[in-house]
Amino acid sequence: MKNFFLSILVLFSTTVFAQSNKVTFTAAADARQVLIGSYFDISFTLRNADGSNFKAPSFEGFTVLSGPNRSISTTMINGQYSKELTYSYTLQPQKIGTFTIDGATILANGKQMKTNSVSIEVLKGKSGATSQRDLQSRIAKEVFIKAIPHTEQAYIGQQIILDYKIYTSLGIETYNFVAESEYDGFFTQEIRRFPSGIIKEVIDGVEYSTKVLKRVALFPQQAGVLTIAPVEMRVAVSTDEEKSSRRRGFSFFQRRNHIPVTLLSEPVKINVHPLPVKAPPSFTGAVGKYHLNVAASDSRLSTDESITLQLSLSGDGDLKQVQAPPLSVDKAEVYEPRVIRDDFKEVNGKMLSEKVFEYLLLPKEPGIYRIAPEFSYFDTDSLKYITLRSSPLVFHVKKGTQGNISFEKKEVNPLAGAEIRPLKQGGKLYAKNRFFITSKLYWALASMPVFLFGLVVALRQKQIRDSKIDPLLLRRQKAAKLAQKHLAKAQSFMTKGDSRAFYDEVSRAALGYISDKLNIPNADLSKQNIKEKLIALNVAPKRIEDFIQLLKTCEMALYGGMSNSQKMKETYNLAADIIEGIEQEI
């Protein structure tokens, strides 16, 4: 009998344990009835399993105010472990009636699971009462967000400050950014330290409290009209009605003390101008306002030693794409400069950059060397090129112990000046009666006019054929060949370990190919536009995503300083495969 009861107890415990760890996927709403214009929460909860590939129902007849909001919780009760994965939404009904929300699906433990459906009855509120829809309509007028650029006219490489600013005449409980523009055509840096106090502003006779919530520094990379897509933000707004109801003592029965609202900014257009022509020789791409500082090693040295020169540039433009200013010094060998510093920092609510180039010079002869480096930039205030020149640096170079450094190797004849000259080797003897007309050289020269005439005729015929071809068609035909030339250059830079030049050539290959192949002007070469064009041509989705990722990799490398040799090899192979694949598909 004792063993019988023990068996029953074990069986009961096992059953309870199994039920407590059973995998379930259920749906629940926090209301069965709601008023038109009001809102409610619905949640889909997976218990005791890890889930993936969650798919929500269509929510037909409802507006999604918030969601999906994902949360995970774990509990331990009496040694029993349980886990919950929840996806929740805040919904607002669009019309009166009874609606059924279908179940959501998820993949758990290798099986697809589906929740139960949920029924919601939407009722009409009492006449004269302030409805939730009235509140939503009022909130839309009293709370909004703007994307405000500090300028809408800019030049390539110029810094543009973009503020996301909220305007409200109501109380804001919380806020969060849901979706942000990809800023196609711009290099971006988020600014985290900027004036963010609350300022009162009056618009159309209404007073708003305003606050800058986010600031971004934009650096345009191409000319044309560039569009910044709207930002999506969700805020929780307090209302006067809710505050008064709490004062009347109904806060205990109130489901929440705020209303969730989705805000969208208007799109912003920036007109980016190309830089003026006839730039000075020392201009290497800098745009904005800059300072030049030059430092050097010891000013007294010998021809056995080198001069180390550091040229420091600082300003508010995009120095990532600025190359080293050219430096030429008479009677000295100037080696290719290297970048020893390339930094961004936040100062007074904007980004300032600093880039330091180091030059190595080898004096060839003793004497006095005067070096005055210069640097030019395009000033966005005066709209002119400005050239900065440092004070001349004077170097006193004396003769070294090894004499002058020679950069040319010459053969020295040990017997030069002697009476006996060395014998010349490798000569040929010919018969005295040999004639020039019978030589190979004569016949080669005689046949050359015929060969040149044939070559001219062939080239002329090719020009005639090419002139009859549509120029756009000719560009398309030569797109892949031109891309291969850029990739060949990229491969040589990869061998040398020059990562910046490598990624620049890969970017030129990819963008140049797609521009020529699809006839896309340079001003319209945004990632989104390229993606749409390739989708319209039925290019494989995987290849399209790889192409967009290739462009992002090149951007990150050019502006983030990537130098991994293995990564360069992978990028090169990916670029070659993508261009070959698109060439076969189009």
One-letter amino acid identity for 83? K
Four-residue CA torsion sign, 166, 170, 176, 182: negative
What SS3 state is found at 395? Answer: strand
In angstroms, rounded to a whole number, what is the distance separating the alpha carbons of residues 114 and 193?
47
Could you say which of 2.60.40.740, 3.90.1300.10, 3.40.640.10, 1.10.3470.10 is the CATH number of the domain covering 283-398? 2.60.40.740
Contacts of 198 by beta carbon, 8 Å cutoff, 6+ apart: 209, 210, 211
| CATH code that applies to domain 471-585 | 1.20.120
In angstroms, rounded to a whole number, what is the distance separating the alpha carbons of residues 352 and 519?
37
Q: Given the DSSP bridges, would you call strands 268-273 and 367-371 parallel, antiparallel or unpaired?
A: unpaired
Q: For residue 120, give the nearest of 94, 101, 95, 103 by alpha carbon.
A: 101
- Contact call for residues 369 and 363 (beta carbons, < 8 A): yes
Q: For residue 488, give the nearest of 475, 474, 502 by alpha carbon.
A: 502
DSSP bridge pairs for 479: none
User: Which contiguous run of DSSP H or E holds residue 44?
Assistant: strand 40-47
In angstroms, rounded to a whole number, what is the distance separating the alpha carbons of residues 489 and 483?
10
Q: Given the DSSP bridges, would you call strands 105-108 and 111-114 parallel, antiparallel or unpaired?
A: antiparallel
Same fold, 24-126 and 133-273: yes
CB atoms inside a 10 Å sphere around CB 583: 13
Q: For residue 36, give the nearest of 62, 8, 10 by alpha carbon.
A: 62
Please provide residue 528's backbone torsions phi and psi, each rounded to the nearest 5 degrees.
-65, -40
In angstroms, rounded to a whole number, what is the distance separating the alpha carbons of residues 295 and 293?
7
Q: Does the global pTM surpass 0.75?
A: no
- Token pair for 441: 């050289």
In angstroms, rounded to a whole number, what is the distance separating the alpha carbons of residues 219 and 183?
10
CATH 2.160.10.10 matches 24-126:
no
Residue with tokens 């005055």: 372
Q: What does 486-508 look like in DSSP terms, one character per residue?
A: HHHHHHHHHHHT-HHHHHHHHHH
- What are the extents of the domains in the chain? 24-126, 133-273, 283-398, 471-585
Q: Report cis status (omega within 30 of 0) of the bond before 68.
A: yes
pLDDT per residue as tens, the chain (586 positions): 545 544 544 444 444 444 447 889 999 998 888 888 777 889 999 988 888 899 999 999 898 877 788 888 776 555 566 788 999 988 888 889 999 999 999 998 889 999 999 999 998 866 544 455 566 666 767 889 999 999 999 999 999 999 999 998 887 777 888 888 889 899 998 998 888 888 888 888 788 889 999 999 999 999 999 999 999 888 877 765 444 333 333 333 334 456 778 888 999 999 999 999 889 999 999 999 999 999 887 788 888 888 888 999 999 998 888 889 998 888 888 888 888 888 888 888 888 989 999 888 888 889 999 999 999 999 999 999 999 999 888 999 888 776 544 444 333 343 333 333 444 444 444 444 455 555 566 566 666 776 676 676 666 565 545 544 455 566 777 888 888 888 998 998 888 888 888 888 998 899 889 888 888 876 667 788 888 888 888 888 888 988 988 888 887 776 555 666 778 888 999 999 999 888 888 7
**Whole-Å CA distances, 189 to 60, 194, 349, 499:** 40, 13, 12, 22
Report the CATH fold assignment for 133-273. Immunoglobulin-like (2.60.40)
- For the purposes of burial, counting CB atoms within 10 Å of the CB of 413, is it exposed (0-12), middle (13-18) or buried (19 or more)? exposed
- Token pair for 25: 């996927």
